Structure 1
Amino acid sequence: MINHENALNLLNSTSTTEILENLLNLSKLDDTNNGNKGNKGNSKTITYSKNAFIPVCTWCRNICGYCTFREENYTLLTKEQMKETLREADKYNCHEALFTFGENVDENPKIMEELNKMGYNNIIEYLYDIEEWCLNNTDLLPHTNCGILTYEELKTLREVNASMGLMLENSSSRLCKTIAHKDSIGKLPKTRIEMMENAGKLKIPFTTGILIGIGETKEELINSIFEINRINEKYGNIQEVIIQNFRAKKGIPMENYPEPTPIEILKTIILSRMILKDISVQVPPNLNKETGQLLLLAGIDDWGGVSPITKDFVNPEAPWPEIEELEMFSRELGYKLVERLPVYEKYINNEWLDDRLFKKIQDIKRKK
């Protein structure tokens, strides 16, 4: 594995030859073993998940300098609204229901009042109910990403989720004093790392990632990738890592901050693949519409969730590409675009999944 010193040299490198040599070495590895897919020869694949994005509630206790998802005048979706979207997604043969809401929404008394009127004691009970309905009435598998959850909350939601997620973003506590996270208590790295480790203890297949371009140093970026790898080496639960680039949006505190360059993103992907050897590396195609195809050269092996019916509510200004467009992009570089489930194949067993989820996945596979 690459060490910290060599990793820093790579990120600081301005040598075209050095960057291309690293790309060539990774490409040779792919040709031998096709990354972590286990395919032999030149049969290269890149995956995606056909999903429906369900923004359960748009309030959040965190006020991040780059976020447009949080709304003070929040929306709390009704169960019928969510069911309508899930039914529609089922018609489009989607298999992932991405449930998300702001962190610790129970702290908002107005939200709690609404939940109590509907007969729920908290947002987790509400979420569990709709996710159970999703499992029983559609062929979509829930994947929850809603900020910090306790061990007990993770344990409860494990029963109805094929996988779960939380972006680490960065492992540096220094960023909690910057414009990015100074008003976001939930972005304390130790809290996020604790949740990722709890998910590992509970055998929950997990998605995480880093956010680049929010004021981190190169050393902090490197440490964040190594931290994710440390957790996975201990628990084996990290199924994919998202390399997400900051995008400036009108009206956010960081509106005038520079976005990371394509070369910064490229070198971060190269570095991630060197460190995270048995973990899938994903880049959101809607945030890299102009350069995403070129990032295939670095060996990313997943495009993440793409929805035919809902927008990306976290990045509403960036529409999803059409699946046919992704297929064309992938094919031009010799990749076959393959749909996957929200849980990766190596986790589809009784060790990692609740029994009813395991059986549900077998039913879905028989229908495909």
Structure 2
Amino acid sequence: MKVFVPLTTLCRDYCGYCTFRRDPGEPGGRTMTPAEVVALVQAGGRLGAREALFSLGDKPEARFPSHREFLRRHGHRTTLGYLREMCALTLRESPLLPHANPGVMAERDLAALREVNVSMGLMLETISERLLRRGQAHWNAPDKVPARRLRTVELAGKLGIPFTTGILVGIGETARERVDALVAIRDLHERYGHIQEVIIQNFRVKPRIPMRLAPEPSPEDMLRAIAVARLLLPSEVSLQAPPNLSPGVYPRLLAAGLNDWGGVSPLTLDHINPEAPWPLIPELRRATEAAGFTLRERLAIYPGFVTRAEFLHASLRPRVAALVDGTGLVKESHEHWRHW
């Protein structure tokens, strides 16, 4: 279970499908203070959450003077520096383990964040440079250049960071481009062995986005993408599709190759898809068991990485070890959801 921490909704990119980002002065356009972060992660800890998922816009200081002033008041020049402090604060003030999704990063940023995150993530989204053209999903989004995103995923591998990535389905890409993106992810994992999870995420229409009139992918589109991903990716790479974005088709998702439901939250909504409430854990448990599987809780770092010293900073190893059993999953005595 997780707590979703929307550290800042400010972002220098304007993606056609995004309802998370805001400009300063817009409703919801803000950056969380340290006190707000602490209050949220402590509340999550009281409910039995294990993960603090930090999501934030990409490099807002490059576009907004007011955000640069916010950072200056808090002793930082960059949003990534502030993020590192908030991850460290989470470790000091709560039982939660941080997992950050901060966008495109340089090697020094990844190295600094590795010290205070058990895993990290960046959605590749697509390999298509065609979507950077005027009128396409990534036209006004400098951080969505595929080569820059692939470089971040590669650097994470070089640094030994357990990493989550994935693709978006239905943002204008072709079926071939989906395959090409999955192959690029597979190739990086075969080189570095650091991809713990690939997310297949479907586009959802939202009222205020530029792509509000675009068609959503069909359930069949999603099932095909999941099945192709399962065929292309190594078996040790888990496959996830957000359950709140595909209600009613859980058995078909599992049959297509899904083996992970991702993080759900007992406290916070999905700030990326606020229109889509999380499913209840008992609902996921019933669907999982009906398909012949067992529902177990994992940490933000996957079981295959928890005992591999090269993939976890030394300061984080004792905290992780205290929570997991011999399989690398959360000890059943710590699975609070079983008592709900």
- For normalisation by structure 2, the TM-score amounts to 0.91
Q: Deviations over 1:95-144 (max 9, x none)?
A: 11001110012212211101111222322222122211211232211000
Map 1:277-288 onto structure 2 (within 5 A): 277-278=234-235, 279-288=237-246
The answer for the alignment partner of 2:297 in structure 1 is 339
* Equivalent residue runs for 1:318-333 within 5 Å: 318-333=276-291
Shift >4 Å, 4+ stretches:
none
The question of 1:262 aligning with 2:213 is answered: no
Matched, 1:58 2:2: no
Partner Cα separation in structure 1 for residue 212 and residue 248 of structure 2: 20
The answer to whether the aligner puts 1:358 opposite 2:301 as a matched pair is no
Question: Unaligned 5+ residue runs, structure 1?
Answer: 1-49
The one-letter amino acid of 1:303's match is W
Q: Distance in 2 between matches of 1:222 and 1:92?
A: 39
Counterpart residue number, 2:61: 106
Distance 2:290 2:175 in 1: 32
Partner of residue 86, structure 1: 41
Tell me if 1:146 matches 2:81.
Answer: no
Q: Note if contact 1:179-1:254 (Cα within 8 Å) is conserved in structure 2.
A: no
Deviation at 1:258, TM superposition (A): 0.8
How many Å apart are 1:184 and its aligned residue?
0.5
Partner of 1:290: 248
Assess if the C-alpha contact under 8 Å between 1:151 and 1:198 holds in 2. Answer: yes
In 1, distance between residues paired with 2:75 and 2:148?
30
> Could you say which structure has the greater relative contact order, defined with CA pairs below 8 angstroms and 6 or more residues apart?
1
Separation in 2 of the partners of 1:125 and 1:267? 40
Q: What is residue 35 of structure 1 aligned with on the other side?
A: none
1:283-334 CA distance string (max 9 Å, x none): 1000001223321111210000100000000000001011111111212212
Give 1 or 2 for the bigger CA radius of gyration: 1
- Superposed CA RMSD: 1.2
For 1:173, give the aligned amino acid: E
CA contact (8 A) 1:179 1:253 kept: no
Aligned residue number for residue 271 of structure 1: 228
Query: Aligned equivalents of 2:81 and 2:143: distance in 1?
Result: 21
Q: Which amino acid aligns with 1:126?
A: Y
Q: Which residue of 2 aligns with 1:25?
A: none
SS at match of 2:103: coil
Write the deviation string for residues 201-241 of structure 1: whole angstroms up to 9, x where unpaired: 00000000000101111111111111110110111111000
Counterpart code for 2:144: K
| TM-score between the two structures when normalised by the length of structure 1 | 0.84
1:205 to 142, 162, 185: 162
CA distance in 2, matches of 1:121, 1:71: 20
Which runs of 5 or more residues in structure 2 are unaligned?
A: 325-330, 335-340
Secondary structure at 2:199's aligned position in 1? strand
Q: How do 1:1-368 residues align onto structure 2 when only pairs under 5 Å count?
A: 50-73=1-24, 74-107=29-62, 108-177=64-133, 178-278=135-235, 279-348=237-306, 349-365=308-324, 368=334
| Equivalent residues of 2:199, 2:241 under 8 A apart | yes
Q: 1:139, 1:364 within 8 Å by CA — same for their partners in 2?
A: no
CA contact (8 A) 2:80 2:102 kept: no
Report % sequence identity: 42
